[in-house]
Amino acid sequence: MMTPKKMAPSLILINPWIYDFAAYDLWSKPLGLLYLAGYLRACGFNIHLIDCLAVHHPALKNSALPARRVYGTGKFLRKRANRSPSLKHVPRSYSRYGIPRQLFVNALREAKPPDAILVTSLMTYWHPGVTEAIAVAREVHPRTPILLGGIYAALCEEHAIATSGADRVVTGISLQDMAKLLDVLLDFGIGGGKAPPSSNGLPLPAFDLLHGLDHVSLLTSTGCPYRCEYCASHFLNPQFFTQDPHQVFNEILHWHQDRGILDFAFYDDALLVGFEKHLGLILEELVRQNLGLRFHTPNALHVKELSPEAAELLWRAGFKTIRLGFETSDMTMHQFLDRKLSEGDFERAVRSLLKAGFAREQIGAYILAGLPGQSVGSVKESVEFVNRVGAMPFVAEYSPIPHTPLWDKAVASSQYDLVAEPLFHNNTLLPCWQEEQRKEFKQVKARVMEIRKGSAGSSNLRHSLRRIHCQC
């Protein structure tokens, strides 16, 4: 008599909703969760992935979907939502971004009863979406252990343990040591049945589990050798790790040939570091293959690393969206903020990009606003400086981040209780500025829009990019 084949253990992986005053899809994909899905699938688990931010779910085909823009960006579905009383004073609408609640419930029910549910998280102030996703998953699968990981869980571990509703908050696991998660699952009596992959590189992220894939996010490295005062990259990924260039190229080639993908967005914190031995090799192969692909850098490039040779290769390889980590034209501020920019570096970088062939509208420079001790006048000067040099200004409001060198100063300067409530980390609040500064800042934002609207061909560049926690 044949022994019945043992069923592979089943896991549900969830990317939760966003609750915020604004959110925009700039090549957004739950990249860490997709890497984890690829790894766990290779370990013998059946994976059912639910992306609450999906915009191409087949069940939405008869819905009034938000417009999508060139290169795969666009708006999320959204629904007006009740907000915490602590945010009642903000004169802006508050929404839940993502798929309808019932669609999420249906997706949970369609999956066979899982052995565990894994939930990821991103911005600290998006935790209401995390808590709601866990609560709904608990209703549908009441006896299934729920594990929470991701950036919010790592940066606000105590808050996540106290409020998320998860059975375990998992921290300290990077993409290089995902095997540690197998030990956590074994604590709940859950094993995959296969030996973990032996490759030293990252597994292929499971983009095939997403609906209507129209672009792919790339991560050729993790961590960052810079130590910027406002950035949590070093806390989240203490070691700077780079993937083998051939593996990265093969990943690009796979998604292009298998799914017809043309648009790829790099989400490295330090994409240009070690250019000649890393990204340069990838780009040279892309130029040789001449695949007609388009590349984007929403997570910003380090200005100091952008040589004329690198700019030329970026252009020839097909980069369409360049974002530079400029932060401020005040060199005194750079001395204590990041020490990653010297006098003349920005001008040289922009000149190199323009000479290589990039149009002004393709070159955006992030300018930080709302830093503790920063004046609105300093931001104004930075905006005008970027405009004069020949790039497009993009203001990025500062979000206080726990475990960064600037955190204590942010806490001391804010009228909000940043320690107790991560909702107050929301950059819409400009939590480290006073009310008079917030009012004055509206004029700066209006000036930025005036510059961008006045630039020919900028119609698809009029949405300011909101920074992720690990960006440097």
For residue 6, the model assigns a pLDDT of 64
Helices in 197-317 by DSSP H: which ranges? 233-236, 245-259, 279-289, 308-317
Please say whether the beta carbons of 305 and 278 come within 8 A. no
Q: What 3-state DSSP class applies to 304?
A: helix
**Average of per-residue pLDDT across 401-410:** 97
Measured CA to CA in angstroms, residue 256 lies from 36, 131, 341, 370, 471 at distances of: 21, 36, 36, 40, 27
Tokens of 471: 């960006």
For residue 199, the model assigns a pLDDT of 67
Please name the helix (run of DSSP H) or strand (run of DSSP E) that holds residue 12, with its range, or none: strand 10-15
Q: In this structure, what are the phi and psi dihedrals at residue 310, rounded to the nearest 5 degrees? A: -65, -45
In percent, the amount of the chain with pLDDT more than 90 equals 83
For residue 459, the model assigns a pLDDT of 41
Which is higher by pLDDT, 24 or 339? Answer: 24
Q: Quickly count: other Cβ atoms within 10 Å of residue 2's Cβ.
A: 4
Domain limits, the chain: 10-187, 215-461
The contacts of residue 164 (CB under 8 Å, 6+ apart) are 127, 130, 131, 134, 148, 153
Identity of the residue numbered 464: S
SS3 content of the chain, % helix, strand, coil (to 5): 40, 15, 45
Tokens of 459: 């119609």
What angle separates helix 127-140 from helix 101-110, to the nearest 10 degrees?
50
For residue 198, the model assigns a pLDDT of 72
Q: Flag whether pLDDT at 208 surpasses 50.
A: yes
Please say whether the beta carbons of 303 and 386 come within 8 A. no
Q: Flag whether pLDDT at 180 surpasses 90.
A: yes
For residue 464, the model assigns a pLDDT of 39
Measured CA to CA in angstroms, residue 198 lies from 43, 176, 184, 204, 252 at distances of: 11, 12, 19, 13, 21
This prediction has a pTM of 0.93
Q: How far apart are CA 461 and CA 22, in angstroms?
A: 16
The contacts of residue 142 (CB under 8 Å, 6+ apart) are none
Measured CA to CA in angstroms, residue 312 lies from 308, 345, 353 at distances of: 6, 17, 7
Q: Flag whether pLDDT at 358 surpasses 70.
A: yes
The contacts of residue 199 (CB under 8 Å, 6+ apart) are none
pLDDT tens digit sequence for 106-151 = 999 999 889 999 999 999 999 999 999 999 999 999 999 999 999 9
Looking at 66-75, 141-150, 256-265, 276-285, which range is the least confident one?
66-75
Tokens of 439: 């009012």
For residue 69, the model assigns a pLDDT of 84
Q: Quickly count: other Cβ atoms within 10 Å of residue 337's Cβ.
A: 21
Q: How confident is the model at residue 465 (pLDDT cuts 50, 70, 90)?
A: very low
Nearest residue to 392 (alpha-carbon basis) of 445, 292, 323, 320 = 323
Q: How far apart are CA 20 and CA 93, in angstroms?
A: 9
Q: In this structure, what are the phi and psi dihedrals at residue 332, rounded to the nearest 5 degrees? A: -65, -40
CATH no. of 215-461: 3.20.20.70
Tell which CATH classification among 1.20.5.510, 3.40.50.280, 3.30.420.40, 3.40.50.150 matches the domain 10-187.
3.40.50.280
For residue 141, the model assigns a pLDDT of 97
Place of tokens 């955190």: 407
Place of tokens 């729920």: 146
Q: Strands, DSSP E only, in 120-251? A: 146-148, 168-169, 216-218, 221-222, 241-242
Tokens of 172: 């300290």
For residue 114, the model assigns a pLDDT of 96
For residue 456, the model assigns a pLDDT of 47
For residue 65, the model assigns a pLDDT of 75
Q: How far apart are CA 245 and CA 218, in angstroms?
A: 12
What angle separates helix 435-453 from helix 376-389, to the nearest 10 degrees?
10
Q: Quickly count: other Cβ atoms within 10 Å of residue 453's Cβ.
A: 11
Place of tokens 């106290």: 162
Q: How far apart are CA 94 and CA 457, in angstroms?
A: 31
**Average of per-residue pLDDT across 416-445:** 97
